[in-house]
């Protein structure tokens, strides 16, 4: 699940890169991203920020030579411990790569601290900006997370974000289960998370960071919301063979919205070709699931594909993001929240209504999906007397 979350942004980034040149032109100056709508009042999302690991690493790497005692103390920090666990290597590898940062001829094994040491002045300045705007940054992340949550019941969620440098691999952040198993905290590699906006003004980099933080906070809140929702916990028999497909898309779509820069909204306008590609793929999956005469083995193969993390990152997330934004654009944010509260069927019904509006230009859902949505729910069994 954590790996799928990390890849969600990559699927939409690839869609942007493959789209027409016009899609890459920045949109209007006022954000029309759904997550910049008014936050839901009935929900509390508290985002806290911990800069300790990032500061301590920069202080260590800025010194003329490595301080072994300070390096050892770093390993006790939650963010550093998470990075070491993520590397699946012993702590000695982390220590060795710290040493190599002070040797121009050495090459890192896993943790690349050379580049951070070379640019430590820039990162110190940015950290100072983040610290000065910490209250605004965490409020922006909280407001954005709350914007896409239904408000039909009270809910409170807390998300802790740790900033650091040198995460292993290519991930710009990792979600880590807390020690008591009651929740998660998130570790963000600043250098990787801001790689796409490193030439931007500090204020823009902070805003980019706020979106990443908001996406992680939303993901946790959205999962907690669904866990307490009858509409999401019960299988919807009225959707038949399509139920797992529609559920996966409706679950992942709202989260994937946070992977898209605010300049690309509305998605149906700025990313029209990627949207068509994703929804065509979604419609083909629906056709396969409902194809008459298809043998059981073929259907089972399609059903198994839907359950893979790669399906969520490559299709369900991007397609769900396009559907989500279209609902907000066509029906409004309140209608979108109501659809999320009512479950997967309501989510697709809302998009179907939005696509039927004159001049919407939206791609229609496949015939099997629309027929399934139009069919009346199965009648409840009548209790036998006596």
Tokens standing for residue 222: 């959205």
Q: Are residues 194 and 130 in the same domain?
A: yes
Domain stops at, among 191, 213, 228: 228
At 293 the pLDDT is: 59
At 10 the pLDDT is: 39
Q: Are residues 51 and 124 in the same domain?
A: yes
Q: 47 exposed, middle or buried (CB, 10 Å; 0-12, 13-18, 19+)?
A: buried
H helical segments located in 119-201: 120-132, 134-147, 190-193
Q: Are residues 118 and 181 in the same domain?
A: yes
Q: How many domains does the chain have?
A: 2
**Domain contains 35:** no
Q: Are residues 216 and 309 in the same domain?
A: no
Domain stops at, among 175, 208, 228: 228
**Domain contains 26:** no
Q: Are residues 194 and 103 in the same domain?
A: yes
**Domain contains 380:** no
Sign of the dihedral through C-alpha 190, 195, 198, 203: negative
**Domain contains 12:** no
* Element (DSSP H or E) covering residue 373: helix 367-374
Query: What tens-digit pLDDT sequence spans the chain (386 residues)?
Result: 333 333 344 344 444 444 443 344 444 446 799 999 999 999 999 999 999 999 999 999 999 999 999 999 999 999 999 999 999 999 999 999 999 999 988 888 899 898 999 999 999 999 999 999 999 999 999 999 999 999 999 999 999 999 999 888 878 999 887 766 667 899 999 999 999 898 898 889 999 999 999 999 999 999 999 999 999 999 999 999 899 999 999 999 999 999 999 999 999 999 999 999 999 999 999 998 888 656 777 778 888 899 899 999 999 999 999 999 999 999 999 999 999 999 999 999 999 999 999 989 999 999 999 999 998 765 544 444 54
DSSP strand pairing (155-164 vs 173-177): unpaired
Burial 102-139 (b: 16+ CB within 10 A, else e): beeeeebebbbbbebbebbeebeebbebbeebeeebbe
Best CA proximity match to 268, nearest among 322, 319, 320: 322
At 35 the pLDDT is: 97
d(CA 82, CA 167): 9
Are 11 and 314 in contact by the 8 Å Cβ rule? The answer is yes
At 379 the pLDDT is: 55
Q: Are residues 218 and 247 in the same domain?
A: no
Are 157 and 224 in contact by the 8 Å Cβ rule? The answer is yes
Q: Are residues 83 and 168 in the same domain?
A: yes
Q: Are residues 109 and 205 in the same domain?
A: yes
Range of the domain at 369: 235-374
Q: Are residues 136 and 278 in the same domain?
A: no
d(CA 308, CA 292): 24
Q: Are residues 206 and 289 in the same domain?
A: no
At 5 the pLDDT is: 38
């Amino acid at each position: 699940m954590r790996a799928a979350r990390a890849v969600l942004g990559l699927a939409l980034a690839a869609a942007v890169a493959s789209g027409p040149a016009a899609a890459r032109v920045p949109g209007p100056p006022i954000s029309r991203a759904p997550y910049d709508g008014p936050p839901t009042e009935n929900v509390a999302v508290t985002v806290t920020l911990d800069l300790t690991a990032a500061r301590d690493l920069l202080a260590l790497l800025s010194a003329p030579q490595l301080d072994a005692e300070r390096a050892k103390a770093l390993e006790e920090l939650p963010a550093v411990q998470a990075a070491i666990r993520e590397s699946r290597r012993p702590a000695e590898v982390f220590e060795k790569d710290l040493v190599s940062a002070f040797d121009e001829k050495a090459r890192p094994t896993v943790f690349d601290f050379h580049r951070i040491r070379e640019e430590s002045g820039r990162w110190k300045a940015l950290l100072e900006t983040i610290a000065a705007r910490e209250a605004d940054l965490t409020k922006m992340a909280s407001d954005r997370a709350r914007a896409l949550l239904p408000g039909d019941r009270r809910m409170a969620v807390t998300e802790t974000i740790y900033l650091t440098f040198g995460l292993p691999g290519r991930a710009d952040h990792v979600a880590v289960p807390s020690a008591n198993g009651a929740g998660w905290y998130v570790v963000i590699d600043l250098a990787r998370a801001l790689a796409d906006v490193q030439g931007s003004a500090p204020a823009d980099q902070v805003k980019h960071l706020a979106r990443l933080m908001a996406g992680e906070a939303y993901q946790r809140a959205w999962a907690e919301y669904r866990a307490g929702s009858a509409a999401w916990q019960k299988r919807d028999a009225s959707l038949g063979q399509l139920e797992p497909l529609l559920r996966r898309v409706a679950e992942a779509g709202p989260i994937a919205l946070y992977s898209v820069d605010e300049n690309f909204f509305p998605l149906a306008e700025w990313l029209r070709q990627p949207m068509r590609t994703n929804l065509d793929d979604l419609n083909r999956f629906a056709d396969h699931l409902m194809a008459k005469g298809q043998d059981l083995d073929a259907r089972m193969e399609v059903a198994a594909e839907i359950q893979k993390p790669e399906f969520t990152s490559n299709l369900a997330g991007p397609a769900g993001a396009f559907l989500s934004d279209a609902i907000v654009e066509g029906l409004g944010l309140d209608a979108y929240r109501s659809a999320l509260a009512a479950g997967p069927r309501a989510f697709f019904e809302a998009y179907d209504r939005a696509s039927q509006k004159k001049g919407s230009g939206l791609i229609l859902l496949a015939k099997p999906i629309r027929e399934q949505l139009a069919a009346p729910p199965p009648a409840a069994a009548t209790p036998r007397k006596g």
